[in-house]
Amino acid sequence: MSQSGYFDLDMSLSVRRTVVGAGVVVLDDAGLVLMVRADGGYRLPGKPQPATEALPVAAVRAVEELTGVWVEITGLVGVFNDDSEPWSTELAVCFRGRPVGGRLSSARAAWLEPERLAELAVTEATRLVVEHGLDGEPYFP
């Protein structure tokens, strides 16, 4: 696109950016799910993936950085997308995992009962991902 294309709203909006992220639904032996407080609510631990890093590696690293918990990937929850913004699409690959070490090192991280998510500040999208993480079957829309 030429530089003048940036001033043409229709043309500039047709060039969408895709942001790829990796996250993990981490369940401990008691059935609790690992969540992170953010923006006044809770979300699953995950981050955008650097282009040089494999998705499972990025997901494990993000969980450790955000929570202090070391995880092992045990499966795939699914692939989710959010294209609600006109200039970008967020593509999230979400894995299922279990804790294998570390400990909570952030006041923002917490182990929560999945059935309590409805009463907490958790988005519908996050609840959907957790539900798919609990049912054990990969989800592809």
Residue 21: HSE in the Cβ half-sphere, 13 Å Cα cutoff: 18
CB contact at 8 A, 124 and 41: no
Alpha carbons 131 and 133: distance in angstroms, whole number = 5
Cα separation, 25 vs 99, in Å, equals: 10
CATH topology of domain 15-135: Nucleoside Triphosphate Pyrophosphohydrolase (3.90.79)
- Residue 71 in contact with residue 100, Cβ under 8 Å? yes
Ordered by start, the domain boundaries in the chain are 15-135
Kindly list the distances between the CA atom of residue 81 and the CA atoms of 46, 64, 90, 109, 124, in Å, as whole numbers in the listed order. Answer: 14, 24, 5, 24, 14
pLDDT tens-digit profile, the chain (141 residues)? 444 444 555 555 566 678 888 999 999 999 999 999 988 889 999 888 877 889 999 999 999 999 999 999 999 999 988 766 666 677 889 999 999 999 999 889 999 999 998 888 888 888 989 999 998 887 777
